[in-house]
Amino acid sequence: MKAPPFPVGCLTAARFEHAPIPHSPKRLDIPRYDEHITGRGRPYVFYTYAKQRQRQLNLDEPEFSADDVLLRVYLTFSGDGVYQRGALLEFRKNGETWQGRGWRYEVFYNQWSHREELSRIQPQELAPRKGWADFEAVFASVDFERLPTEWALEHLMEWLERTRPPLNGPTLTIEYATPALYRLMVFTAPNVTRDGAEEARRLDAFMIYVDDEFERRESRAPAAP
């Protein structure tokens, strides 16, 4: 499986501290480096960044969650200077009940500590205009339980090398959990790579649906510092 590039700053500055993979009773599906000598056997850096954001947003650990379904989608957009725009969408299901919430924030990548630092955090409540049953049908069409991370899709990697499209779109780091399973997946600009892989097309259709159908209301819950 082709692995993502290891960040150059991690090779030239202080040693990159990968987030440890916890000992969980769940089956953990976290992609690890198997080609790069610096990070061999360690989880992809995207797992570490997700854990950094998780802590700063005061969220629980999906590796140990008891929810019937928990989906988190971390999005990173391009920005000005050293700051980028970021967001997190979270959907939980327990029994027949779904809940949604989100956060918007700015991301500063501290290259000396290899840490993503969040600021201007704005929590939100998410509610689908057409109801949760409609959402669940679109959610099921993606098949998050089996969706590979993009580097595992050889046909997508071949398409990218052949066409070399500009990847103008957000990077999505996805966490999916059930009482027995935790998975991490990454897709770069699925709005572009949808032309090279059916898996990216399904994911992009889900993100378009969420963007179009969900009302975002400012939450009164206190934001993390």
Query: Which pLDDT tens digit goes with each residue over 36-61?
Result: 555 677 898 899 999 999 999 999 99
Question: Is residue 224 predicted with pLDDT exceeding 80?
Answer: no
Write the DSSP symbol of residue 159. H
pLDDT band at 209 (very low <50, low <70, confident <90, very high): very high
Please report the pLDDT score of residue 112 as a whole number.
75
Tens of pLDDT, residues 135-189? 999 999 999 999 999 999 999 999 999 999 999 999 999 999 999 999 999 999 9
Query: What would the mean pLDDT of 111-138 be, rounded to a whole number?
Result: 91
Write the DSSP symbol of residue 221. S
Rounded mean pLDDT of the chain?
Answer: 88
Cα separations in angstroms, 74 against 32, 53, 134: 19, 9, 22
Pairing state between β 214-218 and 69-77:
unpaired
Question: Is residue 219 predicted with pLDDT exceeding 90?
Answer: no
Q: Give me the helices (H) in the chain, please.
A: 8-12, 45-56, 132-142, 154-163, 190-193, 198-213
Question: Is residue 12 predicted with pLDDT exceeding 70?
Answer: no
Neighbours of 50 (CB within 10 A): 24
Would the CA dihedral through 57, 62, 68, 73 be positive or negative?
Answer: positive
Question: Is residue 81 predicted with pLDDT exceeding 70?
Answer: no
Q: pLDDT higher for 78 or 127?
A: 127
